[in-house]
Amino acid sequence: TPLLAERMSRVKESPSSRVADRVRAFQAAGRPVIPLTIGEPDFDTPEHVKDAAIQAIHAGETKYTSADGTPALREAIKARLLRKTGQSYGAGEICVGGGAKQLIFLAFLATLDEGDEVIIPAPYWVSYPDMVTVHGGRPVVVATTASTGYKLTPSLLRESITDRTKWVVLNSPNNPTGAVYSEAELRGLADVLRANPRVSVLCDEIYDAINFRAQPVPSTVTAAPDLRERIFLVNGVSKTYAMTGWRIGYGAGSAALCTAITTLQSQSSSCPSSVSQAAAVAALDGDQEFVERAVRIYAERRDLLVSGLDAIEGLRPVIPQGGFYVWTDCSALAGTATPSGARIESDADLAEHILETSGVVVITGDSYGCPGHFRASFALSADTIREAVAGLAHSISLLR
Ligand code: PLP
């Protein structure tokens, strides 16, 4: 009998790791690349956060913690949730894990039986469908379009719900589109959920602090506090505080779900890293000046990249309201041909042409369940963004 379980046939390597391999191969061949694929802040973790971790090490905070995190971290998370949502989450309604990613994985593990459905609006973060299928669930991908800002609408949600629907995933600000759901839009979706009491909503709010709008990013639980028991909020310190390597994320929701996740945590990793938890407390409770500065810098880079892409014929960038990616419609380039006469028939053809002719790397829309687009990151220096735009302009000018 084969070693690997059947479920392994239902999960594939993340497209981002595949692209990273391609980039490394290119670099190994001595060819320069401009990776617009970056999915993490290029800033360093703030000093006061690093200091807190060093202090924790010296103070001997180097042992197992409780599976749902240290009391200090749980308090810091509760305080942040209260500031953001106005909701006070109690003991047992919070779980802590090795990144938001692990919490989403555990939430599906804890709740999906064979054949249960999860509604995933496309474009989606690449990991959601695989995290559903590996646990025997069925991703129900719902296409959205530019006309609704690539957002799920109440009627699309209503049409997609079946007897088997367990979750709908909402990601705001969205990766890859940068779309933010307004409070009114969330209220519209909440109306549909009220009529469907068995459906829960997983709100991935990991980019909520990287926000370019005048108002804070609304949370689903603020728009529909009466649905709080069915809303699972997921967040973390990775993107907000440039802490992707520290691996701390958290979730808030019903005690039943959070307890289940904590049980799974206790039987898999025991607990998140104690040192990283101390760092996360400093990040959440400490001076937020770092975040404000980072957002100002991201906003400048966003404008640079959006205006650069917009000036290239055949590209239609969407102005992101949050996060650090520009989602770009490149469907107008389909059917063109490269100087050697090769036809651009797919996103992959276009990405390959761009890489070959200018070394710029983007992640194509098919990875996000929405072909005819690509995602370009601006978690890069302004100079690199300028170089990337010049490279893209050159590559695309070669197409006929
Ligand atoms: N959710 C979204 C939408 C993301 O883009 C990412 C990271 O790329 C994550 C979750 C994972 O974040 P974490 O580092 O907390 O696991």
Q: Which ligand 1 atom sits closest to the C-alpha of 236?
A: 15
Where does the pLDDT of residue 254 fall: very low under 50, low under 70, confident under 90, or very high at 90 and above? very high
Where does the pLDDT of residue 378 fall: very low under 50, low under 70, confident under 90, or very high at 90 and above? very high
Sheet containing strand 363-364, strands side by side: 316-317, 325-329, 373-377, 363-364
pLDDT of amino acid 368: 96
Q: From 3.40.50.300, 3.90.550.10, 3.90.1150.10, 3.40.50.970, which CATH number describes the 6-44+290-397 domain?
A: 3.90.1150.10
What are phi and psi for residue 170, nearest 5 degrees? Answer: -120, 130
- Of 105, 175, 368, the residue with max ligand 1 atoms within 8 A of its CB, to mutate for a pocket test, comes to 175
Contact criterion met (CB below 8 Å) for 394 and 358: yes
CA–centroid distance, 127 to ligand 1, in Å, is 9
- What residue owns the CA closest to ligand 1's atom 8? 39
* Pocket of ligand 1 contains residue 125 by CB under 6 Å: yes
* Pocket of ligand 1 contains residue 69 by CB under 6 Å: no
Contact criterion met (CB below 8 Å) for 232 and 251: yes
Where does the pLDDT of residue 14 fall: very low under 50, low under 70, confident under 90, or very high at 90 and above? confident
Contact criterion met (CB below 8 Å) for 88 and 290: no
pLDDT of amino acid 13: 83
Please write the tens of the pLDDT for every residue from 105-130.
999 999 999 999 999 999 999 999 99
Where does the pLDDT of residue 188 fall: very low under 50, low under 70, confident under 90, or very high at 90 and above? very high
pLDDT of amino acid 394: 98
Least confident of 15-19, 36-40, 380-384: 15-19
Tell me whether domains 6-44+290-397 and 61-285 share a fold.
no
Q: Is 244 exposed, middle or buried (0-12, 13-18, 19+ CB in 10 A)?
A: middle
- Of 180, 238, 375, the residue with max ligand 1 atoms within 8 A of its CB, to mutate for a pocket test, comes to 238
pLDDT for residue 216 is more than 80: yes
Query: What is the torsion angle, in degrees rounded to the nearest 10, for the CA atoms of residue 179, residue 84, residue 286 and residue 250?
Result: -80
What is residue 78's three-state secondary structure? helix
Q: Which residue has the tokens 């839009």?
A: 185
More confident residue, 109 or 11: 109
Q: From 3.40.50.300, 3.40.50.11290, 3.40.640.10, 3.40.50.1820, which CATH number describes the 61-285 domain?
A: 3.40.640.10
Sorted by where each begins, the domain ranges of the chain are 6-44+290-397, 61-285
pLDDT for residue 16 is more than 80: no
DSSP string spanning 190-228?
HHHHHT-TT-EEEEE-TTTTSB-SSSPPPPHHHH-GGGG
